């Protein structure tokens, strides 16, 4: 594919040890030869860092440059990378000078990766894995995205596509050579061949709920009456004092969200305003937010204050919500634990003394994460992949119905092709330009 030359700063904009400007395209080498005094060495020693000077009219900087001749580069094109001292102004000034040359322009977000895909250096899932690994905020997310970059998902999808291709080929024989003296595939055999295909797609799809939790983090809402100790528990879970704690009921007004990592998974804990009837307009707004948080959370921790009798508010929480009931303040000398009628607590803790906080973290983990799925090699973390898998399963159901209704082999062949296309869209086969643009627009500049 013929393309122009692009360039961008590939490191974060700011001050640091090193910053990198990347050029890709046919003019990369020519442009570097005009600004780098040791450019003649780049061609002699491709893929090696060469120390020299980048020079302009009124300033220069010591730089390490490297040249990756096409097709053995990230984009598959001629690529040059310039390592500069990591000054914000310096890097921007060098970029501005490079952009003064003709035949080079600033890259769009993700354009280097898009070129890598278009030049066959990787497929879309691998490019999406790169976005995910860059944005990863937990060990599990890192692991899931690195498995995708390594082609794990593409391999799984390609294996299913191979089975579908074989099936389509057998069906096509029956269509193309109807009068030959050969044994054609029967409706029953098509059904049998579809079973493992359906199972493999279903198994991938089964990982998507856990995959979404890994990607977005698990949202855990802390709910309970004022003074139950929600903010104290938030601080205990985080290991530092993030929220204000006082003995005034109604201290927390707005929701407050912070994260911690446990067993490699990110948990987003949301502290909320204590729920009670209030005339205070600000508190009422906070309570409304608390209720919305509870409805949207993956898990709710219903915190009960052991030093006061239970009231209706305490256990009054939507029963369809996934929740843990936690009794707090068991350290308090005046705790009523033994007298409380309701004993169905999942765990009793002291947020102040940090008693049983690790046990609570494990409980939160067990209630939300399927450990077996978490340890699977491939997790579906991307909504686009999930939708393609769902679509292909829908079509398999249609094929099964068509088989039962004894529909013509031509009709089956069409449905099988639709199924193939739905699945293949995951790895970018027949993906239209608009989808590609949407995917790559999520990348940062210079990637
Ligand atoms: N003894 C004891 N006191 C606690 C414990 N947890 C919280 N408290 C006390 O209970 C009071 C309220 O604690 P907070 O964490 O502010 O309670 P909250 O649920 O966030 O309260 P609101 O923000 O008003 O809804 C404070 O005086 C805390 O010191 C605990 O485990 N043991
Ligand atoms: Mg609070």
Residues 13 and 152 in one domain: no
pLDDT at residue 317, as a whole number: 59
Residues 317 and 241 in one domain: yes
Residues 198 and 271 in one domain: no
Atom of ligand 1 nearest to the CA of 350: 31
Per the domain annotation, does 266 fall within a domain? Answer: yes
pLDDT at residue 244, as a whole number: 87
Per the domain annotation, does 360 fall within a domain? Answer: yes
pLDDT at residue 58, as a whole number: 92
Residues 197 and 240 in one domain: no
- Please state the length of the chain: 447
pLDDT at residue 265, as a whole number: 97
Residues 335 and 383 in one domain: no
Atom of ligand 1 nearest to the CA of 355: 31
Residues 203 and 322 in one domain: no
As a whole number of angstroms, the distance between CA 434 and CA 250 comes to 50
Ligand 2 midpoint to CA 313 (Å)? 16
Ligand 1 midpoint to CA 255 (Å)? 16
Give exposure, 88-102, as e/b (b: 16+ Cβ within 10 Å): eebbebbbebbeeee
In order along its 447 residues, the chain shows pLDDT tens digits of 568 999 999 998 888 999 999 999 999 999 999 999 999 999 999 999 999 999 999 999 999 999 999 999 999 999 999 999 999 999 999 999 999 999 999 999 899 999 999 999 998 899 899 989 989 999 999 999 999 999 999 999 999 999 999 999 888 877 776 666 666 788 899 999 999 999 999 999 999 999 999 999 999 999 998 999 999 999 999 999 998 888 888 888 888 999 999 999 999 999 998 877 778 888 888 888 888 888 899 999 999 999 988 776 666 655 677 999 999 999 998 877 777 666 778 999 999 999 999 999 999 999 999 999 999 889 999 999 999 999 999 999 999 999 999 888 889 999 999 999 999 999 887 666 666 676 677 666 667
pLDDT at residue 321, as a whole number: 79
- Report whether residue 404 contacts ligand 1, using a CB cutoff of 6 Å: no
Per the domain annotation, does 18 fall within a domain? Answer: yes
Ligand 2 is an ion; its neighbours by CB within 5 Å are 230-231, 251-252
Residues 388 and 260 in one domain: no
As a whole number of angstroms, the distance between CA 163 and CA 159 comes to 7
When divided into structural domains, the chain yields a total of 3
Residues 170 and 283 in one domain: no
pLDDT at residue 339, as a whole number: 72
Residues 223 and 202 in one domain: no
As a whole number of angstroms, the distance between CA 426 and CA 129 comes to 12
CB 150 within 8 A of CB 125: no
Separation of CA 99 from chain center: 34
Q: Look at ligand 1, atom 24, and give the residue with the nearest C-alpha.
A: 250
Number of helices followed by number of strands (H, E) in the chain:
17, 12
Ligand 2 midpoint to CA 248 (Å)? 9
**Closest CA relative to residue 427, chosen from 129, 154, 145:** 154
**Is the link from the previous residue into 15 a cis peptide, with omega within 30 of 0?**
no
Model pTM?
A: 0.83
Residue ending a domain, choose from 123, 156, 185? 123
Mutating to test ligand 1, I would choose from 224, 232, 249, 328 the residue with most ligand atoms within 8 A of its C-beta, which is 232
Per the domain annotation, does 244 fall within a domain? Answer: yes
- Token digits of residue 410: 């031509």
Residues 369 and 391 in one domain: no
CATH of the domain at 237: 3.40.50.300
The residue range of the domain holding 361 is 215-373
Residue ending a domain, choose from 70, 91, 123? 123
Q: Which residues pair with 106 in a beta bridge?
A: 7
Per the domain annotation, does 442 fall within a domain? Answer: no
Per the domain annotation, does 329 fall within a domain? Answer: yes
As a whole number of angstroms, the distance between CA 298 and CA 72 comes to 45
**Closest CA relative to residue 346, chosen from 299, 308, 313, 309:** 299
pLDDT at residue 333, as a whole number: 87
Per the domain annotation, does 323 fall within a domain? Answer: yes
pLDDT at residue 431, as a whole number: 61
Residue ending a domain, choose from 96, 123, 150? 123
Atom of ligand 1 nearest to the CA of 328: 31
Residues 15 and 106 in one domain: yes
pLDDT at residue 175, as a whole number: 75
Residues 256 and 160 in one domain: no
- Report whether residue 381 contacts ligand 1, using a CB cutoff of 6 Å: no
Per the domain annotation, does 11 fall within a domain? Answer: yes
pLDDT at residue 174, as a whole number: 76
CATH of the domain at 36: 3.30.1360.120
Q: Look at ligand 1, atom 1, and give the residue with the nearest C-alpha.
A: 332
CATH of the domain at 145: 1.20.120.430
């Amino acid at each position: 594919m013929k393309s122009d030359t692009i360039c961008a700063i590939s490191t974060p904009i700011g001050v640091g040890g090193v910053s990198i400007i990347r050029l890709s395209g046919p003019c990369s080498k020519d442009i570097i030869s005009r600004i780098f005094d040791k450019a003649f060495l780049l061609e002699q020693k491709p893929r090696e860092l060469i120390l020299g000077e980048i020079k302009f009219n009124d300033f220069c900087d010591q730089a390490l440059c490297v040249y990756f001749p096409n097709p053995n580069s990230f984009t598959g094109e001629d690529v040059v990378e310039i390592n500069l001292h990591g000054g914000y102004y310096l890097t921007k000034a060098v970029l501005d000078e490079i952009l003064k040359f003709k035949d080079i322009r600033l890259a769009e977000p993700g354009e280097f990766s898009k070129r890598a895909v278009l030049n066959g250096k990787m497929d879309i899932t691998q490019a999406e894995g790169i976005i995910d690994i860059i944005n990863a905020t937990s060990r599990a997310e890192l692991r899931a995205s690195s498995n995708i970059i390594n082609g794990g998902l593409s391999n799984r999808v390609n294996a299913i596509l191979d089975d579908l291709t074989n099936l389509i080929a057998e069906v096509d024989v029956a269509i193309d050579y109807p009068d030959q003296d050969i044994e054609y595939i029967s409706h029953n055999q098509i059904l049998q061949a579809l079973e493992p295909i359906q199972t493999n797609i279903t198994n991938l799809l089964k990982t998507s709920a856990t995959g979404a939790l890994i990607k977005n983090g698990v949202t855990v809402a802390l709910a309970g009456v004022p003074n139950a100790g929600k903010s104290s528990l938030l601080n205990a879970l985080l290991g530092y004092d993030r929220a204000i704690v006082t003995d005034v009921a109604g201290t927390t007004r707005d929701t407050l969200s912070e994260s911690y990592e446990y067993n490699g998974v990110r948990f987003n804990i949301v502290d909320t305003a204590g729920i009670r009837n209030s005339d205070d307009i600000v508190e009422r707004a906070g309570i409304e937010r608390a209720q919305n948080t509870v409805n949207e959370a993956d898990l709710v921790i219903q915190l009960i204050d052991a030093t006061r009798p239970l009231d209706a508010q305490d256990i009054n929480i939507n029963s369809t919500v996934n929740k843990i009931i936690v009794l707090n303040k068991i350290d308090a000398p005046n705790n009523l634990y033994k007298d409380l009628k309701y004993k169905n607590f999942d765990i009793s803790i002291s947020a102040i003394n940090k008693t049983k906080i690790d046990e609570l973290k494990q409980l939160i983990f067990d209630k939300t994460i399927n450990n077996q799925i978490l340890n699977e090699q491939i997790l579906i973390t991307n909504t686009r992949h999930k939708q393609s898998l769902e679509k292909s399963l829908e079509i398999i159901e249609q094929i099964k119905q068509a088989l039962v209704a004894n529909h013509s082999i031509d009709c089956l062949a069409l449905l099988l092709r639709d199924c193939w296309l739905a699945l293949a869209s995951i790895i970018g086969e027949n993906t239209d330009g608009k989808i590609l643009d949407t995917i790559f627009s999520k990348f940062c500049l210079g990637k």
